[in-house]
Amino acid sequence: DYQSNIGNLHFVSEQYNKGTVNNLLYLCHRLYEELKEAVEKQLEALPSGTLLGSDVFAGEEIVRNLQDQLQLANQEKEQALELWQTVSQELDQLQQQYQGHMTEAQIHVVQRQKQKVILIVLFLLTNQQFLKTVTEQNMELEQLRKQLRSELSRQKLHTQELISQLEMANEKIAENEKLMMEHQEKVNRLQRRLPQAEQKAATASQQLSVITVQRKKAASMVDLENI
């Protein structure tokens, strides 16, 4: 029985060493690398200038992608933590079950397994800090996009006001041009009538002169008759 228990313990230790713990390490490493690569690509894809118009909507799409990736990463992290808790509990149970039959070397093997699990937890905590940093950057980006959307709305409103003022100015100019054309037409009509008026005035003046002379002659003849 003693040899059988020792053999079982070696087998279980090797299985955890080659299987579960390695899977944990692989899962955490893959999670970190994939998240890091995805976030770096998303951040590099962000425009360096001011986001306006269609760039705002593109920025919103990037933010949504980051949020989805962070949510997925958190889910994988929770799964890894649950797996670690299960492994740690099983290792403790094995250690308690076979402690009376284990040599110092075998106890050392189990302790090394637990140390590996502790390292995995530390790695996950570091990864969690990375996720927190990315989340904070995500919030800053979202705040920036809100400011840009507000600025874009203000600029659109200002542009509409300028367009309205320009249209009013154009209407005023068109109205003034119409008044000037009407005034010019009146001036032209007066200029066309002026020669006719001058001619009529000259004719009337001549007629008046003739009438005056005739009256003078008539008056002279009356005076002569009286004499």
| pLDDT tier for residue 205 given thresholds of 50, 70 and 90 | confident
Closest CA to 31 of 62, 85, 65, 72: 72
Cα dihedral 152/156/158/164 (nearest 10): 180
What span, in angstroms and rounded, lies between the C-alpha atoms of 133 and 70? 11
In angstroms, what CA-CA distances link 150 with 58, 63, 156, 180?
Answer: 16, 17, 10, 45
Mean pLDDT is highest, among 12-16, 109-113, 140-144, 222-226, for: 140-144
**Which pLDDT score, from 0 to 100, does residue 163 have?**
85
DSSP structure class, residue 20: I
| pLDDT tier for residue 182 given thresholds of 50, 70 and 90 | confident
Q: Would you list the domain boundaries of the chain? A: 2-173
Cβ(124)–Cβ(79) below 8 Å: no
The residue-averaged pLDDT of 187-208 equals: 82
pTM: 0.34
Q: What pLDDT digit, counting tens, does each position of 42-73 carry?
A: 556 555 444 444 554 555 666 566 666 666 66
Copy the structure tokens of residue 95: 């250690």
What span, in angstroms and rounded, lies between the C-alpha atoms of 112 and 120? 12
Amino acid identity of residue 215, one-letter, is: R
Torsion region of 53: left, alpha or beta (phi above 0 gives left; psi -120 to 50 gives alpha): left
Q: Of 4-8, 21-25, 166-170, which range is least confident?
A: 4-8
